[in-house]
Structure 1
Amino acid sequence: MSTHDTSLQDTAAPEGVCYGCGSNNPHGLHIKSFWHDDGVHVMAEYMPDTKYCGWPDLVYGGLIAMLVDCHSNWTAMAYQYRMEHRDVASLPRISCVTGSLGIKFIKPTPMGVPLTLRAKVEGDVGRKSRVICEVYAGDVLTAMGDSIFVRVDTEQLAAAAHSQ
């Protein structure tokens, strides 16, 4: 499935604290994303815990949105590293934030089935990347994300957020 043994998250940001994908968040989901062998897609697998149940025996839609958001963001960042011919462990770190998050729920997503996320950059315009992310429960496509991620300087972003 992947061309690397270590996830993008663990390689680029082992100290990450994001609830969805931070390797260093003791309460987080610890999403792990990897380049697919095809060199185009970034893949992740996730098995939802029963605490993420929405309706009986169905995965909570908010969890699906979080998985799509974090995995798609890492897809955008991995793409940016590739476009600069850089390893994801190289500095300075490339960071992106969600500009818009679009989720289309196609079919109910059952509990007890491993989820596979398959994402790729569909369009790139300067600092912005459009990412399409498919969510599969087994072999069934249950949701699709169509989102925009914006490359940012995290220090400037934090300063702007705290100056309001």
Structure 2
Amino acid sequence: MSHLPLQDQAAPEGVCYGCGSRNHHGLQIKSHWAEDGQSVVAEHLPDAKYCGWPDLVYGGLIAMLVDCHSNWTAMAYHYRAENRAADSLPRIDCVTGNLGIKFIKPTPMGVPLTLRAWVEGEVGRKTRVICELYAGDLLTAVGDSLFVRVDTSQLAATAHGRDA
């Protein structure tokens, strides 16, 4: 089992602002299988510029963290379901079909955030992921989202109205 983050294994050329390994202006979220082997974890310490209210993390940043980490959780489960390493080809890609976030408590700035996510139910073309966000030991948000397995070669063309 590799100790490299899932992002660096499966998509080292990734440019996503939240989790892209090659986006040097982005957050560069790094997701790993947890020691329990059942969930995927990531840690992030928000920069002060991601402040919402004074001393609190901006909710949009929380949404981005939950979105990217949950998507990587869905892809990690697909690789595992197919008994494949994350760096194997063809690459598995998912996109967000529905992003749901419940903000439970304010998330304080200056505290390391931990994301813990897992697939709820069966892994399929559409996969439901639950993601908990902790500030230290305090649960502050829970994501309940749906990710769809896709062929990324057609995504940009479709989005720009071009034939793929």
CA contact (8 A) 2:78 2:123 kept: no
Instruction: Give the Cα–Cα distance (whole angstroms) in 2 for the partners of residues 159 and 66 of structure 1.
Output: 24
Letter of the aligned partner of 2:9 in structure 1? T
3-state SS of 2:32 partner? strand
Instruction: Give the Cα–Cα distance (whole angstroms) in 2 for the partners of residues 77 and 134 of structure 1.
Output: 17
* Matching residue of 1:52: 50
- Give TM-score, length-normalised by structure 1: 0.96
* Matching residue of 2:82: 84
CA contact (8 A) 1:54 1:60 kept: yes
CA contact (8 A) 1:105 1:142 kept: yes
Relative to 1, partners in 2 of residues 1:125 and 1:14: Cα closer, same or farther, differing over 3 Å?
closer
Q: Which runs of 5+ in 2 are unaligned?
A: none
CA contact (8 A) 1:4 1:35 kept: no
* Matching residue of 1:133: 131
Q: Give the count of matched residue pairs.
A: 162
Instruction: Give the Cα–Cα distance (whole angstroms) in 1 for the partners of residues 122 and 93 of structure 2.
Output: 15
Q: Percent identity?
A: 77
* Matching residue of 1:99: 97
Letter of the aligned partner of 2:79 in structure 1? Y
Letter of the aligned partner of 1:126 in structure 2? G
* Matching residue of 1:75: 73
Letter of the aligned partner of 1:22 in structure 2? G
Given the alignment, which residue of 139, 142, 151 partners 1:144?
142
Instruction: Give the Cα–Cα distance (whole angstroms) in 2 for the partners of residues 46 and 53 of structure 1.
Output: 14
Cα distance, 1:49 vs. partner?
Answer: 0.4
Instruction: Give the Cα–Cα distance (whole angstroms) in 1 for the partners of residues 42 and 140 of structure 2.
Output: 15
CA contact (8 A) 2:32 2:42 kept: yes
Residue 121, structure 1, aligned to residue 133, structure 2: no
Residue 155, structure 1, aligned to residue 153, structure 2: yes
3-state SS of 1:96 partner? strand
3-state SS of 1:89 partner? coil
Residue 65, structure 1, aligned to residue 48, structure 2: no
CA contact (8 A) 2:32 2:41 kept: yes
CA contact (8 A) 1:47 1:115 kept: yes
CA contact (8 A) 2:99 2:144 kept: yes
Cα distance, 1:5 vs. partner?
Answer: 2.0
CA contact (8 A) 1:134 1:143 kept: yes
CA contact (8 A) 1:4 1:34 kept: no
After TM superposition, the runs of 4+ consecutive aligned structure 1 residues lying more than 3 A away are none
Q: Which runs of 5+ in 1 are unaligned?
A: none
Superposed CA deviations along residues 39-67 of structure 1, whole A, max 9, x for unmatched, are 11000000000000000000000000000
Root-mean-square deviation (CA), in Å? 1.1
- Give TM-score, length-normalised by structure 2: 0.96
